[in-house]
Chains A and B, each alone.
Chain A
Amino acid sequence: MPKTQIIEIASILANDEVAPATWRMVLSSPEIAGLAQPGQFVMVDLGGLDPLLRRPFSIHRCQDGGSLSLLYKVVGHGTGQMAALEPGRTLSLLGPLGHGFEIKGKSHILVGGGLGTAPLLMLAETMACLGKDQNITTLLGGRTAGEILVSEEFAPFGQVKKATDDGSLGHHGLVTSLLNDLSGPDQQVYSCGPEPMLRAVARICREKGWPCQVSLESHMACGMGACLGCAVEHASLTEKKYAHVCKDGPVFEAGAIWL
């Protein structure tokens, strides 16, 4: 049977700060990039004892020639170490992992909050490759302008709308109000961002009758279904049941997780 997940020693091609404390790392990872689907992730090993475990990062973009990009925020010393890595250095990637987005229909609304924008770029690029009849609207939100990430890169695919909590860029308010203002039949919604935002997106979609896929995050040790650390409660009125973000997700039908 062909391998579906591999460990690849990937060389860093570029590693730049694209927004305050937010970096984009481009790696040469032809094998994983060749297998990856939008919404999947990789586990990154920095090779030391601290951090000890690999860390999950959603795949931001895969490009011709076998490059794979990660969009990440420096929040701890692991991501701090990543930001300090110069091109030419190598990292061990395990991937591609997880169940990604399923592209359905032709009218797509992508809703990203902050760093949740990361996997949506690969999703938009993959949709655009399906043909000229794909209608892609991207809604990006953040607390402030610096959290609206790589918005110009979504422009070639269709309309891009922005919202910030402080009004420093785009609509003054939540990205979910931009979603609420949209209408039309047969829309498919794909979303990644903080959980409160995802829950609000799911609720709006339920009201509008639009199918909605959400990408969740979780602490996890292995990323491949062995440690069972990344449990998320499944929507059920009758019994307590957990799904696992690494294998069943990270992308779920919103209705399977939240009632």
Chain B
Amino acid sequence: MAVDLTVNIGAWQLANPIMTASGTFGYGEEFSDFVELDKLGAIVVKGISVEPRSGNPPPRVVETACGMLNAIGLENKGLAHFIDQKIPMLAQTGAAVVANILGDQVADYGEISGALDEQEVIRAIEVNISCPNVKKGGVAFGTQPAMAAKVTRAVRRATSKPVIVKLSPNVTDITEIARAVAHEGADGLSLINTLLGMAIDARSRRPKLANVVGGLSGPAIKPVALRMVYQVAQATDLPIIGIGGISTASDVVEFLIAGASAVQVGTANFINPGVSGQLVDELRNFLEQEGLDSVRELTGSLIT
């Protein structure tokens, strides 16, 4: 019998738990030479704001030990461009698409979710309240439980689609935020976004990023991400999408064991643009080797 890779987030059933993380996979089309997009559980597109954003000045990325810092600043062409140019292209691919949305004010989140509600190709909304690289909005909504709740409520009211809230690790107690958004009707949680970090050039004494600080991603953050997924899984009943330094099938399984129902692959897409598709096959092999019938058996199966 073939192993069952399907997982659920609210009423939405994904073909498998492998997704791509927002901001690391463009709009999918950039990767179509390397991955069959409809083979993935879902692709999460680059964050969408109401109006276009030009992003931060360069340099925007720098490598650090086993990871990278970025301060892109949510560069994107805005909601109208996404609907006019990207949605028709995405519909052609047959991929399950999650729209990652962001805003400067609560109303922006409601506006974007409302505008996307009738778009069939969009299977779920991922609410970005955790970008560390912009001055207002973004992480401000993600670090205060009351603000996180307010944004979630606005999205919940504006859309009939599953609502996933992407959580920031740059907080004292991530479970507090998780509970606040769960209470407002979120269908799932994705975590973690990048960890706020910094790199300095010793000779010039200058920061390596023009924005001075940026978000750390890659294998360096995996232990932190696993810990937070584990903590949030203990604190809420919502399905969790684990993110942070995933590049192998073992990484995927570890996040599932910690309590995740699905995962997102991020920085690894930059190194191997075909990795997400390969992980679907490798996860299936792992389950067969372990004699498991369903990937759902792994979720929260940590033995302590």
Contact yes or no, A222 B269, CB < 8 A: yes
Is A5 positioned at the interface, with any CB of B under 8 Å from its CB?
A: yes
Is A139 positioned at the interface, with any CB of B under 8 Å from its CB?
A: no
Q: Mark B30-67, 1 if CB is under 8 A from A, else 0.
A: 11011000000000001000000011111111110111
Tell me the complex Cα distance, A222–B271, Å.
Answer: 7
Chain B residues whose C-beta falls within 8 Å of the C-beta of A49 in the assembled complex: 66, 219
Chain A residues whose C-beta falls within 8 Å of the C-beta of B26 in the assembled complex: 224-226
Is A145 positioned at the interface, with any CB of B under 8 Å from its CB?
A: no
Within the complex, what minimum Cβ distance (angstroms) separates A257 from chain B? Answer: 12
Residue ID in chain B nearest A55 by CB atoms? B63
Contact yes or no, B33 A53, CB < 8 A: no
Contact yes or no, A229 B60, CB < 8 A: yes
Contact yes or no, A228 B72, CB < 8 A: yes
Selected A-B contacts with CB under 8 Å, 18 pairs: A3-B33, A7-B274, A45-B271, A49-B66, A50-B66, A52-B66, A53-B63, A218-B59, A222-B269, A222-B273, A224-B273, A227-B70, A228-B75, A229-B59, A231-B55, A231-B58, A231-B75, A242-B55
Contact yes or no, B219 A229, CB < 8 A: no
Is A208 positioned at the interface, with any CB of B under 8 Å from its CB?
A: no
Known A-B contacts A226-B24, A227-B24, A232-B58; A221 and B33 likewise in contact (beta carbons under 8 Å): no
Query: Which of B33, B55, B219, B269 has the most C-beta atoms of chain A within 10 angstroms of its own C-beta?
Result: B33
Interface size on B, residues (CB 8 A): 35
Contact yes or no, A225 B54, CB < 8 A: no
Chain A residues whose C-beta falls within 8 Å of the C-beta of B55 in the assembled complex: 228, 231, 242
Residue ID in chain B nearest A244 by CB atoms? B75
Contact check: which of B23, B24, B54, B218 meets A242 at CB < 8 Å?
B54
Residue ID in chain A nearest B219 by CB atoms? A49
Contact yes or no, A94 B58, CB < 8 A: no
Is A241 positioned at the interface, with any CB of B under 8 Å from its CB?
A: yes
Is A132 positioned at the interface, with any CB of B under 8 Å from its CB?
A: no
Tell me the complex Cα distance, A32–B273, Å.
Answer: 16
Question: Contacts A218-B58, A228-B60 given; 15 further ones with Cβ under 8 A?
Answer: A7-B34, A52-B218, A53-B68, A222-B24, A222-B269, A224-B26, A226-B24, A227-B72, A228-B23, A228-B46, A228-B75, A229-B61, A229-B72, A231-B58, A242-B58
Binding site for B on A (CB under 8 A): 3-7, 45, 49-54, 94, 218-222, 224-233, 239-242
Tell me the complex Cα distance, A222–B33, Å.
Answer: 14
Binding site for A on B (CB under 8 A): 23-26, 30-31, 33-34, 46, 54-63, 65-68, 70, 72, 75, 218-219, 267, 269-274
Residue ID in chain B nearest A227 by CB atoms? B270
Chain A residues whose C-beta falls within 8 Å of the C-beta of B219 in the assembled complex: 49, 52
Known A-B contacts A52-B218, A52-B219, A52-B271; A230 and B58 likewise in contact (beta carbons under 8 Å): yes
Within the complex, what minimum Cβ distance (angstroms) separates B158 from chain A? Answer: 27
Contact yes or no, A219 B61, CB < 8 A: yes
Within the complex, what minimum Cβ distance (angstroms) separates A4 from chain B? Answer: 7
Residue ID in chain B nearest A232 by CB atoms? B58
Tell me the complex Cα distance, A219–B199, Å.
Answer: 14
Known A-B contacts A53-B271, A224-B30; A229 and B70 likewise in contact (beta carbons under 8 Å): yes
Query: Which of A3, A52, A220 has the most C-beta atoms of chain B within 10 angstroms of its own C-beta?
Result: A52
Query: Which of B31, B57, B273, B274 has the most C-beta atoms of chain A within 10 angstroms of its own C-beta?
Result: B273
Contact yes or no, A4 B33, CB < 8 A: yes
Residue ID in chain A nearest B33 by CB atoms? A3
Tell me the complex Cα distance, A108–B17, Å.
Answer: 54
Within the complex, what minimum Cβ distance (angstroms) separates A245 from chain B? Answer: 9
Tell me the complex Cα distance, A7–B34, Å.
Answer: 8
Contact yes or no, B70 A221, CB < 8 A: yes
Chain A residues whose C-beta falls within 8 Å of the C-beta of B23 in the assembled complex: 227-228
List the 8 closest A-B pairs by CB distance, nearest first. Answer: A229-B61, A226-B26, A222-B270, A221-B270, A3-B33, A231-B58, A229-B60, A226-B30
Contact check: which of B30, B46, B54, B61 meets A221 at CB < 8 Å?
B61
Chain B residues whose C-beta falls within 8 Å of the C-beta of A241 in the assembled complex: 54
Residue ID in chain A nearest B72 by CB atoms? A228
Chain B residues whose C-beta falls within 8 Å of the C-beta of A4 in the assembled complex: 33
Chain A residues whose C-beta falls within 8 Å of the C-beta of B67 in the assembled complex: 52
Tell me the complex Cα distance, A230–B59, Å.
Answer: 7
